Amino acid sequence: MDFGKDSIKYDPFWLGEKKIYAWEEIDVVVIDRGNGSAKGNRRNKRFDYYVYFKDGTHLDIWGDSRMNIKELKLVDDRIRAKGIPKFIEELPDISKLKEVHGDHPETDKLIDQIICE
C-alpha cells in the first residue's frame, strides 16, 4: 500500500492490478479490537484499522499490513485533517497495545491519539 498526498494505491493480489483511490473516496474508518489471531503480523498489532471506500471496498490497513505505528499515525492524521468520519466498533485493550508496542511514552502517545481521539 502507498499513501500519497492525493491518493491511496494498493495491489489486490487476487486481481493482479493496482487500485487507486482518492482520499475523498473514503467513506468511513472503523477501528476494531481485532481477532488476536496468531497468523501473520496481526498477532503483534492487536487491533484493526479498516478504511471503507464509497464503492464498497474495505481494507484493514493496520492489522493486515507491515505498517508501523508511526506510519499509521501519519495516515490517521490525514484522515482526520480531511474530516473523514472515524468510529470504534469495539475498543481495543489500550494497556495491552502499549505493552505489545514497547510501552514507551512516545509510542503510548501515538496509540492514544490513533484510537482515543
Full-model pTM: 0.82
Number of neighbouring beta carbons within 10 Å of residue 86? 17
Residue with cell 480531511: 82
Among the listed residues 115, 102, 109, the one whose alpha carbon sits nearest the alpha carbon of residue 34? 115
* Residue 39 Rama label (left phi>0; alpha psi -120 to 50; beta): beta
pLDDT by residue for the chain (117 residues), tens only, comes to: 888 889 998 877 666 678 899 999 999 999 988 765 444 444 456 788 999 999 999 998 887 677 888 999 999 999 999 999 999 998 888 888 888 877 678 888 998 899 887
Q: How far is CA 102 from CA 12, 55, 108, 109, in A?
A: 31, 37, 8, 12
